[in-house]
Amino acid sequence: MSQQQLMQRKADATPRGVGVMCGFFVDRAKNAEIWDVEGRRYIDFAGGIGVLNTGHLHDKVRQAVAEQLTRFSHTCYQVVPYESYIELAEKLNRLTPGQHAKKTALFTTGAEAVENAVKVARAFTGRPGVIAFGGAFHGRTMMGMALTGKVVPYKVGFGPFPGDIYHAPYPNALHGVSVEDSIAGLEKLFKYDVDPSRIAAIIYEPVQGEGGFYVAPAEWVRKLRQLCDLHGILLIADEVQAGFARTGKLFASEHYDVQPDLITMAKSLAGGFPLSALTGRAEVMDAPAPGGLGGTYAGNPLSIAAALAVIDAMASEGLIERAETLGQLLKEKLHGLKKDVPQIAEIRGLGAMVAVEFNQPGSHAPDAEFAKAVQARALADGLILLTCGGYGNVLRFLFPLTIEDAVFDEALGKLEKALRG
Ligand SMILES: Cc1ncc(COP(=O)(O)O)c(C=O)c1O
Residue nearest to atom 16 of ligand 1 (CA): 241
Distance 49 CA to ligand 1 centre (A): 9
Q: Is 116 in the pocket of ligand 1 (CB under 6 A)?
A: no
Q: Is 209 in the pocket of ligand 1 (CB under 6 A)?
A: yes
| Closest atom of ligand 1 to CA, residue 136 | 1
| Closest atom of ligand 1 to CA, residue 140 | 11
Q: Is 138 in the pocket of ligand 1 (CB under 6 A)?
A: yes
| Closest atom of ligand 1 to CA, residue 274 | 10
d(CA 372, CA 393): 8
Distance 50 CA to ligand 1 centre (A): 10
Alpha helices in 33-167 (DSSP H): 47-50, 59-69, 83-95, 110-125, 142-147
Task: Kindly report the backbone phi and psi dihedral angles of residue 243, in degrees, each rounded to the nearest multiple of 5, phi listed first.
Answer: -80, 175
* pLDDT tens digits, 50-101: 999 999 999 999 999 999 999 999 999 999 999 999 999 999 999 999 999 9
**Minimal CA–CA distance to 145: which of 154, 136, 153, 156?**
154
Q: Is 46 in the pocket of ligand 1 (CB under 6 A)?
A: no
pLDDT given for residue 80 in this prediction: 98
Residue nearest to atom 13 of ligand 1 (CA): 139
| Closest atom of ligand 1 to CA, residue 205 | 1
Q: Is 109 in the pocket of ligand 1 (CB under 6 A)?
A: yes
**Minimal CA–CA distance to 246: which of 262, 263, 267, 260?**
267
Per-residue DSSP letter, 68? H
What burial class does residue 161 get, using C-beta atoms within 10 Å of its C-beta: 0-12 exposed, 13-18 middle, 19+ buried?
A: middle
pLDDT given for residue 164 in this prediction: 97
How distant, in Å, are the alpha carbons of 235, 370, 418 from that of 414?
41, 16, 6
pLDDT given for residue 1 in this prediction: 83
**Minimal CA–CA distance to 405: which of 35, 46, 43, 63?**
43
Is residue 184 within 8 A of residue 244, CB to CB? The reply is no
pTM of the complete model: 0.98
pLDDT given for residue 398 in this prediction: 98
Tell me which residues of the chain have a pLDDT lower than 50.
Answer: none
